[in-house]
Amino acid sequence: AEREALAKSAEDFFQLGEWAREQKLAALAKKAWKRAVELDGEHVGARERLGFVRHEGEWLTEEQRASRLRESDAAAKHAAGLVEHEGRWITPEDKSRLEQGLVEHEGRWVTRDERERLLGNELFNGRWMPRAEAIARTHAGEAARAAQVPLFDALGAQVFVAGPFE
């Protein structure tokens, strides 16, 4: 209270805040730094202690600065002719393709099914899987129907086994 009563200038209040911080008196420190800013809006030390940063000649909170940077980035992207789609900046043409359900694969626009096939996958019972596995499972199903017995299967890294075992 004595130190606070003696403080008159922005620098006095800043120093009071520093002392309070050292004494682990966070509320008093914050109050003193705020008073320093009230007396001198450009007091660098007090502004920084209160979490402000300098951005384009203005004191802003980190959140405000981040918001301004996002807005500035978005304006630059728009000026370059890009549009935002699901968190990414792309050309309007690419957005149209994506909205049609197309995906880019090695520089070409294809359907999702085409991409899966280009990746070596095949659709089996509504699930995409490596082509060799899908073919093996298809053949096992055909064998089970021909033999008229249920076949159980086991899959390993290099082998697919099917038979009347559990």
pLDDT digits over 80-109, tens only? 999 999 989 999 999 999 999 999 999 999
Asked whether 67 and 76 are in contact (CB, 8 A), the reply is no
Give the pLDDT of residue 67: 95
CB atoms within 10 A of CB 116: 18
Q: How many residues does the chain have?
A: 166
pLDDT digits over 1-38, tens only? 899 999 999 999 999 999 999 999 999 999 999 999 99
Full-model pTM: 0.54
Ordered alpha helix ranges (H), the chain: 2-6, 10-22, 26-39, 44-49, 62-79, 92-99, 112-118, 131-147
* CA 64/CA 94 separation, integer angstroms: 32
* Interhelix angle 10-22/26-39, nearest 10 degrees: 170
166 confidence band (pLDDT: 50, 70, 90): low
* CA 18/CA 49 separation, integer angstroms: 9
